Chains A and B, each alone.
Chain A
Amino acid sequence: MAKAADKTGSGGKKNLKRKAVTEEPQEATVAGDEATESGVQPAKAAAFPPGFSISEIKNKQRRHLMFTRWKQQQRKEKLAAKKKLKKQREALGDKAPPKPVPKTIDNQRVYDETIVDPNDEEVAYDEATDEFASYFNRQTSPKILITTSDRPHGRTVKLCEQLSTVIPNSHVYYRRGLALKKIIPQCISRDFTDLIVINEDRKTPNGLILSHLPNGPTAHFKMSSVRLRKEIKRRGKDPTEHRPEIILNNFTTRLGHSIGRMFASLFPHNPQFIGRQVATFHNQRDYIFFRFHRYIFKSEKKAGIQELGPRFTLKLRSLQKGTFDSKYGEYEWVHKPREMDTSRRKFHL
């Protein structure tokens, strides 16, 4: 009977239940099976023997009744506490302590030692001389080849066409069952800088392979939540031929930097601000959200946006050094779910 580790603690009456329910099991277990277990309990001792909990009532209806009563009591106490706190804040006015910041998974993220420090010279040198250096030194301008897996269906074909309107200087080619390893040398000889392959499964696009061409890394993404233009509500008119600006949000770690640079090297360097178009790659919790908008400044501080263009979500599966060679290539980063996804607060990008 002295199973004191119950979540409701001792006392059967609902007005004995405490708000801080979590404190009770600890106090109860520590104190043992005494009737006056902890000093914080009120003087109105329980009529029921200690160690009682609602879950021990065998009758389902009565148990449910007790539980709803307990829940209502909890809610009332919580509202009362909130009101009291609000009154205190108002009474203090300016001297009130700042509101506590709620905890989210994003701000509870575990410290990642690979987050790039902007002053770090070694990383800066590494980035300045990596495979994208020729793009960032303005020596090459991007030329993209977009293709799909073999025999694509309507959605994938439309996505390719819409992507080629979003990315300037891109060409869509039908994949006639050709092997990627044979396509890549031909692309290199025709001066393509990037290859995008959209993989399709059961009539929907579900994967993206992005390979930087002369000898650059190959990233393999899972694609989800694909919305074509006609499925986007309240969208603007089709995008024009102006070169868009790019926004890369939240690519903080070293791996994130590599992927961010990979996306940046898809678009030409000098955006045309007249076009007022912007492509956004927003990374949050290892998911990369792609959006394409047109913006307009309504006043000094307010801007309006219209979503054009396709929208999709990407998740990185692997980053391979060298051009596409999934069997014999060397991987720089591989997503291993059972090893890497053990913590909800650890992200890699």
Chain B
Amino acid sequence: MAAAVARWNHVWVGTETGILKGVNLQRKQATNFTAAGQPRREEAVSVLCWGAGGETQILVGCADGTVKRFGTEEGVFQGQRHCPGGEGAFRGLRPGRRLLELRVGPGLCRMRQDPARPHVVATGGKENALKVWDLQGSEEPVFRAKNVRNDWLDLRVPIWDQDIQFLPGSQKLVTCTGYHQVRVYDPASPQRRPVLETTYGEYPLTAMTLTPEGNSVIVGNTHGQLAEIDLRQGRLLGCLKGLAGSVRGLQCHPSKPLLASCGLDRVLRIHRIRNPRGLEHKVYLKSRLNCLLLSGRDNWEDEPQEPQEPGELPSEDRETDELWASLEAAAKRKLPDSEPAQGALQSRRRKKKRAGSTSP
């Protein structure tokens, strides 16, 4: 029964209590999945990403340093990998094999993989400028962004990249910062400074997603304000209402004009972004939500299907083993005492704790 229910979930949400929730929007139901059967705050989910092989597997990055695999068809957690090294919570996940370590620097806030070129990742963080890395190439970043010019008081503009997205169809990247700026970078152009910069609001922007057409982004800030910003002109197209808390996760559907948003106010909302702009669904999930994954498939209606026969299970096991076996090598920067091991490639936020300061 759990398997059938798990299959038809439209949105997967990770919470701070370690529960992975699958939400079915047709029936407005949420099912909880935990690895250990009990929610544990140490396993707070910080990142979710689709595993290799379409949308059948989810990689769940937890706060205690483990990455768990979850199968959406069966609805069970399939395995986990402990990934030591670095401090702090996971900031990005990407399916792969080897355990790589890249010294990115302290204060990392986000790592994102280019969906068109899987060996390219971008990282950015607080006082950690945007860097694009090629995992097959050298250990130096392929593109290192330069900070903008000093402002009108001749003061250095601080850097705090909170979220990065790759624009499809070109090499450009978009970032949103904690100082309410949205910037577009183009590694192909000779300038390392942002090509376009706009601001929105007065609060840190925490999450960002691209719209299906690729011309605009939707950003969310710590006050729960969602805005659509056009990247061709740097103009604000419109806002979305409804959220009461800080936005933690945003994702647009690849073909339909739908946006899923989750945040600290414990509610998952689905908005329609055009004609007309408004709220479609709202589901109350009882814990604070950290991240979400929207399934990109096109048929959202419930198909009444019988649960799969047990004869199919062994073949799926074989498939997953093959997936694990198909990997890519990447350069390592650390000393050779860390052996390559099976797992998922991730990057961590290396936190430098300054004395006397509390992290917000």
Instruction: Tell whether, in the assembled complex, residue A113 and residue B284 are in contact, meaning their CB atoms are under 8 Å apart.
Output: yes
Residues in A with CB closer than 8 Å to B358 are 184-185, 188, 215, 322-323
Which of A55-63, A202-210, A295-303, A325-333 makes up part of the contact surface? Answer: A325-333
Instruction: Tell whether, in the assembled complex, residue B356 and residue A254 are in contact, meaning their CB atoms are under 8 Å apart.
Output: no
Minimum distance in angstroms from A107 CB to a CB of chain B:
22
Residues in A with CB closer than 8 Å to B244 are 333-334, 336, 340
Instruction: Tell whether, in the assembled complex, residue B178 and residue A331 are in contact, meaning their CB atoms are under 8 Å apart.
Output: no
Cβ of A225 under 8 Å from chain B: no
Residues in A with CB closer than 8 Å to B17 are 122, 125-126, 129
Instruction: Tell whether, in the assembled complex, residue A328 and residue B287 are in contact, meaning their CB atoms are under 8 Å apart.
Output: no
Interface residues of B in 264-310 (CB under 8 A from A): 264-266, 284, 286-288
Minimum distance in angstroms from B172 CB to a CB of chain A:
27
Residues in B with CB closer than 8 Å to A113 are 284
Instruction: Tell whether, in the assembled complex, residue B284 and residue A114 are in contact, meaning their CB atoms are under 8 Å apart.
Output: yes
Cβ of A120 under 8 Å from chain B: yes
Interface residues of B in 31-56 (CB under 8 A from A): 32, 38-39, 41
Residues in A with CB closer than 8 Å to B190 are none
Minimum distance in angstroms from B149 CB to a CB of chain A:
23
Given A188-B358, A330-B222, check contact A321 B178 (CB 8 Å): no
Residues in B with CB closer than 8 Å to A321 are 246, 264, 360
Interface residues of A in 292-325 (CB under 8 A from B): 321-323, 325
**Among A114, A120, A333, A339, which residue has its beta carbon within 8 angstroms of that of B242?**
A339
Minimum distance in angstroms from A259 CB to a CB of chain B:
14
Q: How distant is the Cα of A122 from the Cα of B286 in the complex, in angstroms?
A: 7
Cβ of A123 under 8 Å from chain B: yes
Instruction: Tell whether, in the assembled complex, residue B223 and residue A125 are in contact, meaning their CB atoms are under 8 Å apart.
Output: no
Residues in A with CB closer than 8 Å to B287 are 122, 126
Closest-by-CB residue of A relative to B179 is A328
Minimum distance in angstroms from B339 CB to a CB of chain A:
36
Q: How distant is the Cα of A331 from the Cα of B245 in the complex, in angstroms?
A: 5
Cβ of B241 under 8 Å from chain A: yes
Q: How distant is the Cα of A123 from the Cα of B285 in the complex, in angstroms?
A: 10
Instruction: Tell whether, in the assembled complex, residue B242 and residue A330 are in contact, meaning their CB atoms are under 8 Å apart.
Output: no
Q: How distant is the Cα of A185 from the Cα of B266 in the complex, in angstroms?
A: 29
Q: How distant is the Cα of A122 from the Cα of B33 in the complex, in angstroms?
A: 12
The contact string, 1 if C-beta is below 8 Å from chain B, for chain A 108-143, is 000001100000101101100100000000000000
Interface residues of B in 330-357 (CB under 8 A from A): 356-357
Minimum distance in angstroms from B30 CB to a CB of chain A:
10
Instruction: Tell whether, in the assembled complex, residue A333 and residue B356 are in contact, meaning their CB atoms are under 8 Å apart.
Output: no
Interface majority SS (helix, strand, loop, mixed), chain B: loop
Instruction: Tell whether, in the assembled complex, residue B178 and residue A126 are in contact, meaning their CB atoms are under 8 Å apart.
Output: no
Given A122-B286, A334-B244, check contact A327 B203 (CB 8 Å): yes
Instruction: Tell whether, in the assembled complex, residue A122 and residue B39 are in contact, meaning their CB atoms are under 8 Å apart.
Output: yes
Closest-by-CB residue of A relative to B38 is A125
Minimum distance in angstroms from B115 CB to a CB of chain A:
28
Minimum distance in angstroms from B324 CB to a CB of chain A:
32
Closest-by-CB residue of B relative to A322 is B360
Instruction: Tell whether, in the assembled complex, residue B39 and residue A328 are in contact, meaning their CB atoms are under 8 Å apart.
Output: no
Q: How distant is the Cα of A113 from the Cα of B246 in the complex, in angstroms?
A: 20
Residues in B with CB closer than 8 Å to A184 are 358
Closest-by-CB residue of B relative to A186 is B356
Closest-by-CB residue of B relative to A121 is B39
Cβ of B204 under 8 Å from chain A: yes
Q: How distant is the Cα of A184 from the Cα of B360 in the complex, in angstroms?
A: 12
Instruction: Tell whether, in the assembled complex, residue A332 and residue B288 are in contact, meaning their CB atoms are under 8 Å apart.
Output: yes
Given A129-B41, A184-B358, A325-B360, check contact A332 B284 (CB 8 Å): no
Residues in A with CB closer than 8 Å to B264 are 321, 330-333
Residues in B with CB closer than 8 Å to A254 are 266, 286
Minimum distance in angstroms from A347 CB to a CB of chain B:
13
Residues in B with CB closer than 8 Å to A325 are 360
Instruction: Tell whether, in the assembled complex, residue B39 and residue A332 are in contact, meaning their CB atoms are under 8 Å apart.
Output: no
Q: How distant is the Cα of A125 from the Cα of B40 in the complex, in angstroms?
A: 9
Q: How distant is the Cα of A288 from the Cα of B206 in the complex, in angstroms?
A: 32
Instruction: Tell whether, in the assembled complex, residue A328 and residue B286 are in contact, meaning their CB atoms are under 8 Å apart.
Output: no
Q: How distant is the Cα of A180 from the Cα of B266 in the complex, in angstroms?
A: 28
Residues in B with CB closer than 8 Å to A333 are 244-245, 264-265
Give B contacts to A, CB under 8 Å. Answer: 17, 19, 32, 38-39, 41, 178, 202-204, 206, 222-224, 241-242, 244-246, 264-266, 284, 286-288, 356-360
Contacts A/B (CB < 8 Å), 14 sampled: A126-B288, A184-B358, A185-B357, A215-B359, A321-B360, A322-B358, A322-B360, A330-B264, A331-B224, A331-B264, A332-B245, A333-B264, A334-B223, A334-B245
Cβ-closest 4 pairs across A and B: A330-B246, A322-B360, A332-B264, A113-B284
